[in-house]
């Protein structure tokens, strides 16, 4: 099924909200994410999905909303998928705990 840009933004919000809610409800800290293999697996699937939806957004949509770092988001997905053993979990923890809440607020303004 082909999704519209608006539908893709809604999906990204949904994935982000579910991930952040799970982290908050379960008291997952940055340190736990950095050091716990199960927690790392927990966050990779939503990050893959977010990156994939961003990658599929139209170029026009990304250009019209250039304040969001689209290429960094889809690039993160690419790095996670193709260089899993080389993942720097300190960076991923910063993304999850610091950048995702900001991204979610930016995206909600677009809906």
In eight-state DSSP terms, residue 85 is G
Tokens representing residue 104 in the block:
């979610």
pLDDT in tens, 61-109: 999 999 999 999 998 888 888 876 788 999 999 999 999 999 999 999 9
pTM beyond 0.75: the answer is yes
First to last CA, the chain: 20
Domain ranges of the chain: 5-110
């Amino acid at each position: 099924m082909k999704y519209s840009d608006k539908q893709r933004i809604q999906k990204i919000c949904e994935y982000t909200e579910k991930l952040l809610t799970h982290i908050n409800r379960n008291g997952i800290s940055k340190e736990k994410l950095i050091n716990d293999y199960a927690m790392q697996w927990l966050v990779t699937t939503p990050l893959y999905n977010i990156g994939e939806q961003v990658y599929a957004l139209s170029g026009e949509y990304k250009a019209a909303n250039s304040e969001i770092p689209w290429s960094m988001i889809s690039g993160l997905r690419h790095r996670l998928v193709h260089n899993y053993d080389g993942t720097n979990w300190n960076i991923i923890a910063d993304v999850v705990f610091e950048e995702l809440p900001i991204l979610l607020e930016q995206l909600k303004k677009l809906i």
